Structure 1
Amino acid sequence: MNWLIGFFGNPDNWSGPDGIPARLLEHLAFSAAALLLATLIALPLGLWIGHTGRGAYLIVITVNVARAMPTLGLLVLIVLVLGTATVWPVLIPLVALAAPPILVNTYEGVRGVDPELRDSAYGMGLRGGQVLGRVLVPVALPLLLLGLRLSAIQVVATTTVAAYAGLGGLGRFIIDGLATKDYESVVGGAVLVVLFALGVQVLFTVVQRMTVSPGVSQRKQIR
């Protein structure tokens, strides 16, 4: 507790390029960029595979690769290849980490829609894209948001590795603190990352309540 009081109570930690606000914005920028790129890649792919049933083997491959991939090891490898002049050595591992939950949950959400709803939509004269956009996506939205939430939390927690590449973010408090044995900074940085992750959790909970139809939520609970 004394370490937390000392860290958050120190005015020097709240100003300048190494202060909490600046590091928090850096962490947010890395996390948001990685989540956006992962979403742009995985969401359309998951929708397409879930809707058409083609390429389902990609889901199995993606899950197996994601489970076996060491994010820090991949970061070190990419840094050795690309250097540290850009943010790509950090973004590539984070995107690789964030994409699988989005892809899998999107696929499962679309494929899990009641076939009778699909048949009814086609029976009403809707075409493939219309069925996907008007029927499948709204019903699958809880799982889609779950995939995004899981990815966002993982990315926020893992963006701390950016400090290993000499970049910013909240990980600087942890990495630099360990290097200098400043455990007050280590604990403070870890608490900030946890609070950030909890904030993401709350944000997605609010988004789900605002976007998911009550009828869909009740239907999911019944099933």
Structure 2
Amino acid sequence: MSVINDALVWFNDPLNWTNPDGVLDRLTEHIEISAGAVVLGCLVAWPLGILLGRRGAASGVIVLLSNLTQAVPVIALLTILTLTPIGLGKPAVIIALAVFALPALLANAYTGMRQIDPEVRDAAKGVGMTSLQRLVRVELPLAVPFLATGLRIATTTVVATATLATAVNGGGLGMIISAGFGLGPGHGGQILAGAILVAGLALIIDGVMAIIERKLTPKVLRRAAGRV
């Protein structure tokens, strides 16, 4: 119980929130790192997943890419990136986390395009829509639930994993936990407080993304899912 009490005392100290490298600064860094990684992952995974999903002949490629990106631990990738010209800091963290986010984004983008009824595509083509018009006006709206699900999973995972940024001096809430370990015995309250902050942020982000996912899903598809 002493560790819990120490964590409460740590939370109640205003200096731990407002000082340089305090909670507010580290929280901002954590969100910036996570957002950068998710955006980078989307820029790579969504075009590739949508392209392969429209062609429908590369499910093996999707599985291979997902397995490859999942097989490399984030901490190992961070270590490798620090040995390149990228070096230490936020760029290495953003790239490593973007790779970590790829499986969910890529697989859901591919699945979203494959689940579209071929008759819908044929109908759109029959009314004279071009390939780009079919993609923008028909296929992507129908794939939105899958894209949103992939985005939610990737975002929540990245936010939770961004704690490892401390390993390469990348900032974020993990620095609070790392600093607690560095202070030695008797500072378990700070370590616990940092862990609570990371877990709380991940839960909040997941809740926000769930609301966004619901809002982006067309009402017709939500009703169909409810009936199922």
TM-score (norm: length of structure 2) = 0.91
The equivalent of 1:48 in structure 2 is: 51
Structure 1 segment 142-157 matched on structure 2, within 5 A: 142-157=145-160
The equivalent of 2:221 in structure 1 is: 216
CA contact (8 A) 1:102 1:151 kept: yes
1:64 corresponds, among 62, 67, 70, to: 67
1:9-57 deviations in whole A, cap 9, x for unaligned?
1122111221110000000111111111111111111111111225443
CA contact (8 A) 2:62 2:107 kept: yes
Distance in 1 of aligned mates of 2:123 and 2:42: 29
Shift of 1:150: 0.7
User: How many matched pairs?
Assistant: 223
1:104-144 deviations in whole A, cap 9, x for unaligned?
10100110112222222112221222111111111111110
Q: CA RMSD in A?
A: 1.6
Q: Which amino acid aligns with 1:185?
A: Q
1:81 corresponds, among 80, 84, 93, to: 84
The DSSP-based 3-state class of the residue aligned with 1:81 is coil
Distance in 2 of aligned mates of 1:219 and 1:124: 25
The answer to whether structure 1 residue 108 and structure 2 residue 111 are counterparts is yes
The DSSP-based 3-state class of the residue aligned with 2:128 is coil
Distance in 1 of aligned mates of 2:158 and 2:62: 20
Q: In structure 2, list runs of 5 or more residues that go unmatched.
A: none
Sequence identity percentage: 35
Distance in 2 of aligned mates of 1:134 and 1:81: 43
1:51-84 deviations in whole A, cap 9, x for unaligned?
1225443201111112311111111121133364
Q: Which amino acid aligns with 1:186?
A: I
The equivalent of 2:24 in structure 1 is: 21
CA contact (8 A) 1:98 1:154 kept: yes
1:204 corresponds, among 206, 209, 220, to: 209
